[in-house]
Amino acid sequence: MTERSLTRGLCIIPARGGSRRFPRKNLARFRGTPLVGLAVAVAKASGVFQTVCVSSDDAEVLDVARAHGADRVLQRSPEDSAYDRQVKDICVSVVEQLSAEGNVSDLFAVLLPTSPLRTAGDVAGAYRTLLESDADCCMTVVAWDHPPQRALRISDGRRLAPFFGPEYLKPAQALETLYRHDGTALVARTQPFLHVKGFYELPIVPYRVSADRGVDVDSPRDLAWAEFLATRLAIRLRPATMADEARLLLWRNDPHTRAMSFSQDAVSSPDHHRWLERRLHDPRSRLYVAERECGREAVGVGRLDAIDDHSVEVGLTVAPEHRGQGLAHPIIEALVDQAVRGELGPSQTVVAYVRTGNEASLNAFTSASFQRDPNDLPDRIRLSRTLNRS
């Protein structure tokens, strides 16, 4: 990235006070925190914004935003408080007002309060994706659970017919994967946006978010679903022991795990026994079994290895039976938390190595705010994340 591209931008959090389908939605609590306050906290944690601004027509919403660290709160005009005003209209008003005050940014992002499972890594990842592209907008997206091409319509209140035509009534795997914006983040270059006063009119690059985090709360049921997913994804780490030997060997010799590892040969039971004994007694290493907080089900293994006095290496494997459930990201965050706590000393940087071609692991680390080293090695990609000890 160039020095110019590292300039931090503006974050806009539009938070209307009312909602026809879910009254006071933006003040609803998710795991104890109002949704608008949670959005502010994640925006601040991403580290990519100079100013986090909340726009609302409601004084209580603005007070909550201020209490959770918003840099600016803006009371909407009567015109912008109308129900037919869209997010793009609010962004035009906010950008123009702040620009008139001298707060000018080349880029700005929109975070909807209704995405409680977004992470700071997702926000930073979308921001960097736009910076590294020639597009004018980056939009986070989630794949539709059910192919929208197979939608049905009711004609005259009594007859069903394919909305898009019978030619789309195919097996899901035969249809193109379609996506929806999930509200996690939308990042745009300011001047192109102001020129067209919209997002979809701009060249857009996607940033894919896991379906387990791309929840857009529009009803109390959505909020309950997000609470369930948060509980399902919550991870605790416990120190591995020799009692885990058989389970760890089974995970290590899984064909997919071996294919994505730097050493792809199968490991014998005696060799694995000796390796595990050495690692458990190595003072510069920590090995953990990752478990769901709910039910204490083992879902993977993680490790920390001291590289020097300033950095540690992190690695993980998701259990084969739990792949595709969005667990890599929370396991990584749990490992980083251990590093922040000084488990292997006062390290400043966490480093990870991903085998070239392992896109799932690469995406998991980048969504957890790891930045890719531009000088990749022939068979591996190096990523790193600076620890925040505040």
Domain edges within the chain: 4-232, 234-386
Report helix, strand or coil for 151: coil
Starting at the edge strand found earlier in the chain, the sheet holding 285-292 runs: 235-239, 285-292, 298-306, 311-318, 349-355, 380-386, 371-372
CB 313 within 8 A of CB 297: no
Largest distance between two CA atoms of the chain: 74
pTM of model > 0.85: no
Q: 4-232 sits in which CATH class?
A: alpha beta
- What is the Cα–Cα distance from 218 to 208, expressed in whole angstroms? 21
pLDDT at 388: 64
Report helix, strand or coil for 16: coil
**132-159 CB burial, b ≥16 within 10 A, e <16:** eeebbbbbbbbeeeebebeeeeeeeeee
pLDDT at 56: 96
pLDDT at 89: 95
The amino acid sitting at 29 is: R
How, if at all, do strands 380-386 and 179-189 pair? unpaired
DSSP character for 345?
Answer: B
Q: Give the mean pLDDT per block of 10 residues along the chain (390 residues).
A: 54 90 92 94 89 96 95 94 92 94 92 92 88 94 92 87 90 91 95 96 92 89 91 89 96 92 91 96 96 88 93 94 86 90 84 90 84 81 79
pLDDT at 217: 94
Q: 234-386 sits in which CATH class?
A: alpha beta
Report helix, strand or coil for 26: helix
Q: Tally Cβ neighbours within 10 Å of residue 117.
A: 25
Provide the token pair at 92. Answer: 């035009």
- What is the Cα–Cα distance from 390 to 369, expressed in whole angstroms? 17
Domain pair 4-232 / 234-386, same fold: no
- What is the Cα–Cα distance from 28 to 34, expressed in whole angstroms? 5
- What is the Cα–Cα distance from 206 to 183, expressed in whole angstroms? 13
Residue 69: left (phi > 0), alpha (psi -120 to 50), or beta?
left
